[in-house]
Amino acid sequence: MEGLTLAGPLLAVLAGLALVDSTSIGTLGLPVFMLAQPRIRVSAVLTYLGAIALFYWVLGVALHAGAGGALRILEDAGSPRAVDWVQLVLGVGLFLASFLFDGPIGRWRRERRERSGRVPVMQRWKDRLVGPDASAGTAVATAVGAGLVEAASMLPYLAAIGILTANGVGVITGAVVLAAYCVVMVAPALVLLGLRVGAARMVEPALGRINDWFARRSGDLLAWTLGIVGFLLAADAFGRLQ
């Protein structure tokens, strides 16, 4: 069974990528905002998390199927190692780019946000999630919208799909692994939801601080994401090349 190849270091890398993904605006920033409100609606939070996890999973299965076909074409052309070298170079490149985004590029992005008079996308999503017209449909629409906006920068998820493809994991096993990935991805938000319901007084101050941090420093997550994803991609490719 092909799933037996998914063991040890590979599973650790995938779990690490899922945990990095769990700290994005869509998977943690917006749920924390919902949980930091004086009154929360558990059903709305669960609907939102379920919708964004399902969106990620469907997109991931489709991308994995397409990537597997591309890999088979390369192997038929006699270039199976080319994928490993491309992944290694990409990983090193992302790791080095993280220092730029944490430095001059990061400062430029922050200054540009401050000069802009437009309402940030995240603020518009927040208003929809807890506004007077908020509903289950609104939660689903916001989750899909967040997923679409983040699709262009979901580096951890794309890296996980690339690693599955490069390691020869088939579509069916890949779909199961990606489902587990999405569960891990929303697990921190689910844990916070449980704490908010069961120990509200104890966690409300912490949720408020996390929410404030996301409001101030969410842009800095990109640098950390680039660095971690780059390192994991390079390590996985280097291991296969050895």
pLDDT tens digits along 19-49: 988 988 888 888 888 898 888 888 889 999 9
**Residue 148 to residue 154: CA distance in whole angstroms:** 10
* Residue 36: strand, helix, or coil: coil
What is the predicted pLDDT for the residue at 3? 42
> Which domain does 144 fall in, by range?
8-241
80-89 in b/e form (b: 16+ CB < 10 A) is eeebbeebbe
In a domain, 1, yes or no: no
- Specify the DSSP element, H or E, that contains 136: helix 136-151
Lowest mean pLDDT segment, chosen from 172-176, 179-183, 237-241: 237-241
**Residue 126 to residue 216: CA distance in whole angstroms:** 15
pLDDT, average across residues 197-224: 77
Asked whether the beta carbons of 57 and 179 are under 8 A apart, the reply is yes
In a domain, 166, yes or no: yes
In a domain, 44, yes or no: yes
Asked whether the beta carbons of 185 and 18 are under 8 A apart, the reply is yes
In a domain, 167, yes or no: yes
In a domain, 32, yes or no: yes
Token pair in block for residue 199? 């120990």
